[in-house]
Structure 1
Amino acid sequence: MSNGGRPLGDRRVALITGAGGLLGNAFCQALYTEYDIVAVHRERTPGVPTQYEWFIDPFDPQAELPENRSQVYLIRADLNEKGEVERVIDLALARFGTVDLLINNAAHMTWHGHGVVDGDAALDDFDNHFRTNVGVPLRLATRLAQKSWLHDRDQNRARNRNIVNVSSLAGTGVYPGGQALYGSSKAALNHLTRHMAVEFKEFGVRANAIAPNSFPAIVPIEKVLLSILELDRGRMTGGVYAIDADPPLATTPTPELATTPPPN
């Protein structure tokens, strides 16, 4: 199977959701020459060459630019709509043959002023938070496993395939400002990650989550990117790793968050 003329295996294949957001855009811009990226977005698109857009030298429009050899594969989708997760997985596998790194980055976040008793706003927004922040990552990981990973244990281990769920520090404690639903959905994602690590270990796929503080206001976005790279290149699984403005490093778990030992 080929990818734009390159045989599968030259580079790792990363599928990232929320590709038009701050972190998704930063990931694509920083790493599109290192990974084959499937960038899933809803409205905004990352500022990188794609199958629809490419760089042109205004002084030599016919020149072949090296940046265009690493086009990101863009997929527009509303992952909450029925069948869209399956369509995304099918397109990614048709394009690249596999996915080595799944980054569940798309999120719904709304603060509810005075909390859950302030009218019906929080009640009405419950499904949006849990469907996007928990249901979509679960469905993506499950469908990818069923369609590709489940019966490919040797290659899963050889290529160090893994999932990184982008959670939040809001899922590790109680923060003010009406974050009850957002924080609760991220706490659920944290625990889901631990369960994924146990189940996916059976066929050689790792699962971890990062829980950054607000970025880039408090945590530099580069630090969040580095944490994803550390997890992709490492062997840890079952961890939820807090990322704050000061050390410790991103891959040092907070004491209150249990982790599963890495696979042997």
Structure 2
Amino acid sequence: MSSGDRRVCLLTGAGGTLGSEFCRRLYTDYDIVAVHRERVPPAPSQHEWFIDPFAPASPVPENDARVHLIRADLTAPGAIERVVDLALARFGRVDLLVNNASYAGYHTNGLVDGDAALADFGATFGTNVEVPLRMSVRLAQRAWLHDAERNRARNRNVVNVSCASGAEVYSGGQALYSASKAALNHLTRHLAREFTEFGVRVNAIAPNTFPGVTPVENVLRAIYELDSGAMTGGVFDVDDADEEPPAGRHALPA
């Protein structure tokens, strides 16, 4: 079960750039269920137990805030249901769902150069649209749907990780990826309208390429602010500038 103090976060795409940084920076602030495929996020997990060699009997802080890893291919039949059930069995609840898993197949020679783009359609929309939809719906059905009072009390919410290309046309063969993120943006608005009935907020963030254009720190801060806030149904840009948060905005935990 959860420690009771920390919020429980179910995070997909935990082995990627953003997911790894989320786990590394915030594993002491959230009880994190980190869903990954091949790469493992760089944070203490349930597969490790730490001992101070100079004081073997003394408590070690890392043992109190370990990430709970789940390896899964979320596009496989039944995988999402298994992940949701394992998360609820481990912590008893989920307060924040971050749909961060993503698939990006770029087709630099265009959509009509052979069948590469057509072949990638299922993987692109399956990962970038269907997985966030299924994850949100299954979590709602299994944990949130009949718990409106506690949902509101715990400020439960979903954050979908979209992209600036969901609203812009960029070069580089991003047609399918951009279209899937545009679909995710609009799906976010519909989920927000439906989930508000049982007290759960839904928003999306739309950063530019990170860390190349947008610092990962700023993307993390955007998720943290949405989790702490009261907004719903929004698709929010993320600041590109690497700067201290303005007055009134949340600073990430050190």
* TM-score range for the pair, normalised by the shorter chain length: over 0.9
Q: 2:162 — aligned with what?
A: 167
Matched, 1:233 2:228: yes
Aligned CA-pair RMSD: 1.7
State the distance in 2 between where 1:180 and 1:62 align.
Answer: 57
1:92 deviation in Å? Answer: 0.5
Greater RCO structure (CA 8 Å; 6+ sep): 2
- Structure 2 distance, partners of 1:56, 1:132, is 39
Which residue matches 1:258?
none
Secondary structure (helix, strand or coil) at the match of 2:34 reads strand
Q: Distance in 2 between matches of 1:177 and 1:54?
A: 45
Query: CA deviation digits over 1:202-248, x for unaligned, max 9?
Result: 00000000000011111110000000000000000000011241499
TM-score, normalising length: structure 1: 0.89
Displacement of 1:114 in angstroms is 1.7
What's 2:90 paired with?
A: 95
Q: Secondary structure at the match of 1:23?
A: helix
SS in structure 2 at match of 1:157: helix
Aligned to 1:135: 130
The sequence identity of aligned pairs, in percent, is 64
How many pairs align? Answer: 245
Query: What does residue range 1-264 of structure 1 map to in structure 2 within 5 Å?
Result: 2-3=1-2, 6=3, 9-60=4-55, 63-246=58-241
Q: How far apart, in 1, do the equivalents of 2:186 and 2:152 lie? A: 23
Residues 170-203 of structure 1: per-residue CA shift (max 9 Å, x gap): 1011000000000000000000000000000000
For the residue of structure 2 that corresponds to 1:224, the secondary structure is helix
TM (norm. structure 2) is 0.92
Counterpart CA distance in 2 for 1:156 and 1:121 is 43
Instruction: Give deviations 1:145-185, integer Å, cap 9, x for gaps.
Output: 00000000000000000000000011011000000000000
Give me the whole-angstrom Cα distance separating, in 2, the residues matched to 1:249 and 1:201.
Answer: 32
1:65–1:205 distance in 2 versus 1, CA, 3 Å:
same
* Counterpart-to-counterpart distance in 1, 2:6 and 2:145: 21
Equivalent position of 1:260 in the other structure? none
- Residues of 2 paired with 1:55 and 1:249: CA distance? 34
- Residue aligned with 1:64, SS: coil
Distance 1:210 1:20 in 2: 19
Alignment deviations for residues 128-157 of structure 1 (CA, whole Å, 9 cap, x no partner): 000000000000000000000000000000
8 Å Cα contact 2:188-2:203 kept in structure 1: yes
Alpha-carbon distance in structure 2 between the residues aligned to 1:118 and 1:128: 18
SS of equivalent residue, structure 1 residue 75: strand
Distance (Å, rounded) in 1 between the aligned partners of 2:240 and 2:149? 38
**Structure 2 residues not aligned, in runs of 5+:** 246-254
